[in-house]
C-alpha cells in the first residue's frame, strides 16, 4: 500500500518516543571509535514542514514535540533529543521536524554510514533530495526496505542499528516484521534492532511484541507509551511501542528516568501511562 505519508504524523507522540530512543541508541554506539551503519527500512521523506502541507492538517506535533519544545527541566537524555530537533530550527521556532534518517545523521559521525529505503515514490524522491548534502555517507534506495535488508546485513563494519518502522496499514506488515527480524538475526545476530509499533485495539498489534520476545536474541526491551485511554469505539491509536533487540545495558535506567516525564508531558487523559519490560538471555 502506498497511501501512507508520514508527514501527517510528523513530530507526534510516537515520533517523540521513537526518535528519543534513536538518539540514545546511536549515542551508545558512538562510545566506540569503530564506525557503524544505520539501516532504515521505511525512511520516509527525511524532513517535514510543520506549518503547512500535510503536517499542518491535523497538527499532531502539537501533542508531541511542541509540548517539550520550551521545557528547560527535561532529563538529560530527553534534552539531547530535543536539542537534535532544535538544529533543524535555528531561528528557535518549531517549523520543521526531521524524520528518522536526519535525526540519526545528526548524532552519527563522519565515518558512520546510512543505508535508507523508502517505497513511496514521492517520499523516496524527497528523501534523496534531503540527503543529497550528505554525499556518500548516505545511500537511498527507492524500494521495499523489508526486502532490502538482505543487501545491507551484516554491515561491513559488523556494527550497526536497524530501524524497522512500517506504517502497519497493511495487516501483513505485522507478519513481515517477524520474518524480517528472523532474517536479520540470522545475518547479524549481534546487531541492535529497533522495531516501532502502534498500540491499537486489534489482535495484530497486541501479538507483535509477544512474537518478537520469542526471537533467538541475547536480550530484548519492550517500552510502550500510552497517551490516552483506548477509545470506546475500538478505533484509533492510543500509544505506541518500541521493541529493541540487543539493547544497550544502560537503557533500562534511562527509560526509568525519562518515561514518567513523557507520560506527564504528553498525556491526553487519565489513561496515559507507560510499561517497560526487558529480558537478558
pLDDT in tens, 72-96: 999 999 999 999 999 999 999 999 9
Q: Is the pTM of this model over 0.85?
A: yes
Instruction: Please give, one letter per residue, the 3-state secondary structure of the chain.
Output: CCCCCHHHHCCCHHHHHHHHHHHHHHHHHCCCCCCCEEEECCCCCCEEECCCCHHHHHCHHHHCHHHCCCCCCCCHHHHHHHHHHHCCCCCCCCCEEECHHHHHHHHCCCCCEEEEEECCHHHHHHHHHHHHHHHHHEEEEECCHHHHHHHHCCCCCCCEEEEECCCCCCCHHHHHHHHHHHHHHHHCCCCEEEEEEEECCCHHHHHHHHHHCCCCCCEEEEEEEECCCCCCCCCCCCEEEEEEECCCCCHHHHHHHHHHHHHHHHCCCCCCEEEEEEEEC
Percent pLDDT > 70 in the chain is 98
- Kindly report, residue by residue over 202-217, the tens digit of the pLDDT: 899 999 999 999 999 9
For position 1, what pLDDT does the model report? 46
Which class is 6-280 in CATH?
A: alpha beta
Work out whether strand 239-245 and strand 219-226 pair parallel, antiparallel, or are unpaired. antiparallel
- Kindly report, residue by residue over 216-230, the tens digit of the pLDDT: 999 999 999 999 999
Question: Which residues have a catalytic role annotated?
Answer: 165
Q: So where are the chain's domains?
A: 6-280
Amino acid at each position: 500500500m502506498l497511501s501512507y505519508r508520514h508527514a501527517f504524523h510528523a513530530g507526534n507522540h510516537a515520533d517523540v518516543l521513537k526518535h528519543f530512543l534513536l538518539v540514545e541508541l546511536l549515542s551508545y554506539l558512538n562510545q566506540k571509535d569503530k564506525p557503524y551503519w544505520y539501516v532504515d527500512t521505511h525512511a520516509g521523506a527525511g524532513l517535514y514542514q510543520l506549518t503547512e502541507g500535510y503536517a499542518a492538517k491535523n497538527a499532531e506535533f502539537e501533542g508531541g514535540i511542541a509540548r517539550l519544545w520550551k521545557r528547560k527541566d527535561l532529563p538529560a537524555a530527553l534534552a539531547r533529543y530535543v536539542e537534535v530537533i532544535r538544529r533543524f530550527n535555528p531561528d528557535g521556532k518549531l517549523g520543521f521536524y526531521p524524520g528518522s534518517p536526519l535525526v540519526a545523521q545528526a548524532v552519527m559521525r563522519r565515518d558512520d554510514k546510512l543505508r535508507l529505503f523508502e517505497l513511496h515514490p514521492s517520499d523516496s524522491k524527497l528523501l534523496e533530495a534531503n540527503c543529497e548534502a550528505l554525499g556518500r555517507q548516505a545511500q537511498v534506495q527507492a524500494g521495499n526496505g523489508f526486502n532490502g535488508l538482505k543487501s545491507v546485513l551484516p554491515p561491513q563494519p559488523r556494527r550497526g542499528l536497524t530501524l524497522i518502522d512500517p506504517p502497519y496499514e497493511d495487516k501483513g506488515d505485522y507478519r513481515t516484521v517477524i520474518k524480517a527480524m528472523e532474517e536479520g538475526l540470522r545475518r547479524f545476530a549481534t546487531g541492535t534492532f529497533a522495531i516501532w509499533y502502534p498500540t491499537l485495539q486489534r489482535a495484530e498489534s497486541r501479538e507483535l511484541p509477544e512474537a518478537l520476545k520469542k526471537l533467538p536474541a541475547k536480550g530484548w526491551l519492550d517500552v510502550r507509551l500510552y497517551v490516552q485511554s483506548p477509545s470506546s469505539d475500538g478505533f484509533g491509536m492510543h500509544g505506541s511501542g518500541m521493541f529493541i533487540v540487543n539493547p544497550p545495558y544502560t537503557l533500562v535506567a534511562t527509560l526509568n528516568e525519562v518515561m514518567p516525564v513523557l507520560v506527564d508531558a504528553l498525556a491526553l487523559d487519565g489513561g496515559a501511562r507507560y510499561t517497560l519490560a526487558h529480558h537478558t538471555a
